[in-house]
Chains A and B, each alone.
Chain A
Amino acid sequence: MSKLVGQSIKRKEDPRFVQGKGSYVANLNIAGMAHLALKRSPHAHAKIVSIDTSKAAALPGVIAVFTGQDLIDGGCGKLPCGWNVPNIKVPTRWAIQPVGDKVRHVGDTIAAVVAESRYIAQDALDLIEVEYEVLPASLGAKATVTSGIVIHDDLPDNTSYPWAIGDLPAAEAGLSAADHVVELKDLINTRLIANAMEPRAAAAQWSEMTEEMTLWTTSQNPHPIRLLLSAFTLGIPEHKLRVISPDVGGGFGSKIFHYPEEIITPWIARKLNRPVKWVATRSEASMTDSQGRDHVSTIKVGVKNDGTITAIHISTHADQGAYLSTFAPLIPTALYLTLMTGLYKVPGVYGEVWGTITNTTPVDAYRGAGRPEACYALERAIDVAARKINMDPIALRRKNFIPANEFPYQTPVALQYDSGDYHKLFDKLEEISDYNGLVAKRDAARAAGKLAGIGVVGAIEASGPAPSKVAGALGGAVGFWESAVMRVHPSGKVSLMTGSHSHGQGHETAFAQVVADELGIGVNDVDIVHGDTAKIPFGMGSYGSRSLNVGGSAIVKAGEKVRNKMLKIAAHQLEASESDLVYDRENGRVYVKGAPSKSKAFGELAFAAYTAHNLPDGLEPGMEEQSFYDPANFTFPNSAHIAYVEVDKDTGEVNLQKYYAVDDVGNVVNPMIVEGQIVGGIVQGIGQALYEHGAYDADGQPQTLTFMDYAMPKAQFFPRFEVARTVTPSPHNPLGVKGAGEMGTIAATPAVANAVMDAIAPLGVEHIELPLTPQRIWKAINKI
């Protein structure tokens, strides 16, 4: 059997998906199930003076109506923040805001209706009468600090925490030593909505007999959700609470967090002793799913005339929305400023950030999470610098690369990059894009009177969070190891229970490839089990491009243990010493060195472990091994992307004609899946560059609650992407892999932004804020 790792094996999960047999939460239909709908605040900021639910409760078909106080009286706790940086102030957040408290963003929850049908529950929402005292909204990541409007009484300046990293004197010295200091003032990183195609949903069933709760939720990490529910918000003990995340229709970060509906739904199911289901509408999702990015930053980069970068100084205000979502403070701190030096050796670096509170939907991780913000600010500034000193943008980047022979490389901002070869990366990019040809094409287009531009980006990611000790030191309330249980059945088939969660990443295939290679069996002899706390060991779930780095490593470790046990049994039965045996991972058998015919097949050893008729003394029967793998470091995938655009002078419209991407994600288990992740990520990144914006008006009213208003990338906007890879294995995990889920998104936004800016630079425009819509471009080039 040839090695499966490294092959583009078609996905094992796909036959069910292409036939409409995905098991999404919204599909659940349990006998007696009631339907939950939630009354959402229409105001960005208001005091809840009173609520009258009597008319709603009287509507035929309505089973019950609950308000915030009902849940508090019924034992529901505040939603905790899972990442507490030093000196943080965590504002109070309830599942449903009680009367006397306030609503703090449009979509904040104020009442729950349970009815016999979803339609009736929705009707009843309109019958709930709420008296509000409407307050002015405080908005803007930076402006909110001085708005004078207090959102939470204990945060008078709407600031939850400050955070800083680096060496300020060194950064200042570097800026003074520079020939030029490029400054992008109040650079905006847009508010985005993740918009996984499956809206969030939750369903719950209470068993009165056993006092056990089952919660189905659209989560990327069912175990942490169970822990938070048990310890903080719902109070049902962990051993009586089963959380299931079945097939989940995309997450992109937005389904990591602990949401109010995960409290409300099971609380009501127990209260009424009936199964209950809640499914978000798209507009509900758009006002309650934690959103992404939303920074205002001023970045200064010092460069010498020869292109040497001398310093980076950045000050950022990060809008966290109305409350701190579960991991909100992690994103603009340890996942952002630590990546501020990109691929480069920079002597002086300093970054500071303020996490601020506004009357908007909470902000947390969204694909890339902090790293796209760092990459965008840095790579935009470097591009402006290259133009200023009239240097080729690739040449400038190359001038500053961390050399391949300096890894592992300790950056001045805490991280230690594991491995990389950035020149090789860009060599490949220049090759596949025919860079010189592309420059000639642009110049020819310009000579013909067109606005044509090339955008280059070098990007880094810290993927696979994270050594648990480091996470703890940085404010994490949890560890970031991952678990695997490898259950070899007596017949030689394998169930692999993983704490990672797949919501599109293809674990059922890629993980099965890893298991199969560890044991020397077929990919179809392995089933990957995930997403159900009753079936899997405690696991941390999937985000931060961690599944294969961390979860995959746990699989490898469990596989080693299975092989070792099999060697022991084989040694006993073959009457050989263990050191004379070879575990043949090609063919799934154990044989005696030099006498390959003396052997035991994988299936024989599995069966022997369960009959236990003939095991070595002291060896326990059975064949089931587990591993909890704590990573030694992040992994540091990196990429080089290039975009070629032409901008229509008359309309400001961007025509993205070519896009080339080279990514180094270390070793690859399934190239097809990796390419899918890269391309999908690129389109999300371009979405931010050209189309997407979660906009609010001056009163804090969200303007983009549907796909009519929020511009999702569509198929016809894109050319075919050309993607390639270089491979620098990660030295510290057994598979040598790095994260692949977020690189595309991180690199693509600045690549396209740089290309558009290059196209319109001849007209004297240095910078436009995202998204680069035709209107914004047209205004800029016409100086309006």
Chain B
Amino acid sequence: MNHTVTITINGVKHTREVEPRTLLASFIRDHVGLTGTNVGCDTSQCGACTVHVDGQAVKSCTVLAVQADGSSVTTIEGMAQGGKLHAVQQAFWDQHGLQCGYCTPGMIMSISYMLKQNPNASEEEIRHGLEGNICRCTGYQNIVKAALQAREALSN
């Protein structure tokens, strides 16, 4: 039996009929067609799929679309505002925080949430905060630098 699910994504309401087992990641990617949210694993380890659900960072491969019914979701596509990159996006660009770019949307969503929770996060805290996000390309160094740049930018 399909369920009717309504989720507001980046400010736009989307209503779809979905199977109850449909993952939020699949709702966003396949049903709504916003493909910036990537899927890198099956087991909730890699964080490529991270989005914000009602302001909380969530791995969208681990949540069912029906659980997110009625919620408000921000994906990577919703981060830049008025043609201006979000401070974390800008920092990733400035610091060469990405190579292949596959982990990047999830990284940006995790770090922007982390810095909201802890605006003074230290390098150590940032590294630990990224425990749930895997990058195979960068060795993390420039991701950490990007987070530090964004921390400064956001505190000003």
A residues whose Cβ falls under 8 Å from a Cβ of B: 10-11, 13-22, 24, 26-27, 29, 118-119, 194-199, 247-250, 252, 281-283, 503-506, 672-673, 675-677, 679-684, 706-708, 712-716, 718, 720-721, 744
Contacts and interface: CB of A to CB of B under 8 A. Distances in A.
A248 B100 CA distance: 7
A428 B135 CA distance: 30
9 contacts: A19-B77, A197-B137, A249-B102, A504-B101, A679-B141, A680-B138, A683-B138, A707-B41, A718-B139
Contacts of A714: 130-131, 134, 140
B61 to A, nearest CB: 10
B125 to A, nearest CB: 10
Nearest to B36: A20
Interface string B102-144: 1111001000000000000001001110110111111111111
B102 A716 contact: no
Interface in B78-97: 79-80, 85, 89-90, 92-94, 96
B121 to A, nearest CB: 12
Among A505, A672, A680, A706: residue with most chain B CB under 10 A: A680
The prevalent SS among residues of B at the interface is: loop
Nearest to B34: A20
Contact of B131 (A252, A682, A715): A715
Contact of B35 (A14, A20, A672, A680): A20
Nearest to A21: B36
A17 B96 contact: no
A22 B102 contact: yes
A283 B108 CA distance: 25
B37 interface: yes
Contact of A27 (B35, B75, B85): B35
Contacts of A684: 136, 139
Contacts of B65: none
Interface in B137-156: 137-144
A606 B35 CA distance: 39
A248 B137 CA distance: 12
B99 A506 contact: yes
Interface in B1-52: 19, 21-22, 29-30, 33-43, 45-46, 48
B94 A10 contact: yes
A14 B30 CA distance: 24
Nearest to B147: A715
B100 A503 contact: yes
Given A20-B35, A20-B37, A197-B40, A682 B100 contact: no
Among A17, A282, A680: residue with most chain B CB under 10 A: A17
B57 interface: no
B58 interface: no
Contact of B92 (A14, A29, A194, A677): A14
Contact of B79 (A19, A249, A718): A19
B73 interface: no
A192 to B, nearest CB: 12
A720 B42 CA distance: 30
Contacts of B136: 194-197, 250, 252, 680, 684, 712
A708 B102 contact: no
A721 B141 contact: yes
B96 A197 contact: no
Among A195, A199, A714: residue with most chain B CB under 10 A: A714
A684 B141 CA distance: 13
A588 B92 CA distance: 32
A721 B141 CA distance: 8
B127 A716 contact: yes
Among B21, B89, B126, B141: residue with most chain A CB under 10 A: B141
Contact of B139 (A194, A249, A682): A682
Given A249-B38, A282-B40, A715-B131, A13 B101 contact: yes
A398 B22 CA distance: 61
Given A676-B138, A679-B139, A24 B102 contact: yes
A473 to B, nearest CB: 34
A708 B43 CA distance: 7
A506 B138 CA distance: 12
Contacts of B134: 197, 707, 712, 714
4 nearest A-B pairs in the assembled complex, by CB-CB distance: A20-B36, A249-B102, A17-B101, A504-B100
A657 B138 CA distance: 19
A26 B26 CA distance: 12
A504 B130 CA distance: 21
Nearest to A709: B43
A516 B79 CA distance: 32
Contact of A197 (B29, B37, B48, B131): B48
A28 to B, nearest CB: 9
A676 B108 contact: no
Given A282-B40, A680-B137, A198 B130 contact: no
Given A250-B102, A503-B100, 10 more contacts: A18-B93, A18-B98, A19-B79, A20-B35, A26-B35, A198-B40, A675-B96, A680-B136, A707-B134, A713-B139
B45 A708 contact: yes
B66 interface: no
A505 B131 CA distance: 25
Nearest to A723: B141
A274 B137 CA distance: 35
Contacts of A22: 36, 38, 101-102
B131 to A, nearest CB: 6
Given A18-B104, A21-B36, A283 B98 contact: no
Given A10-B96, A249-B100, A680-B99, A19 B39 contact: no
A672 B127 CA distance: 21
Contacts of A718: 127, 139-141
Contacts of A29: 30, 33, 35
A18 B127 contact: no
A283 B41 CA distance: 8
Contacts of B42: 281-283, 706
A249 B77 CA distance: 18
Contacts of A713: 139-140
B111 to A, nearest CB: 11
Nearest to B46: A707
Contact of A20 (B39, B76, B131): B76
A680 B139 contact: yes
A19 B140 contact: no
Given A14-B93, A676-B96, A706-B43, A715 B37 contact: no
A706 B108 CA distance: 23
Contacts of A249: 38, 40, 100-102
Nearest to A247: B101
Given A29-B30, A676-B142, A197 B19 contact: no
A206 to B, nearest CB: 22
A650 to B, nearest CB: 22
Contacts of B29: 27
Contact of B130 (A11, A716, A721): A716
A504 to B, nearest CB: 3
A16 B36 CA distance: 10
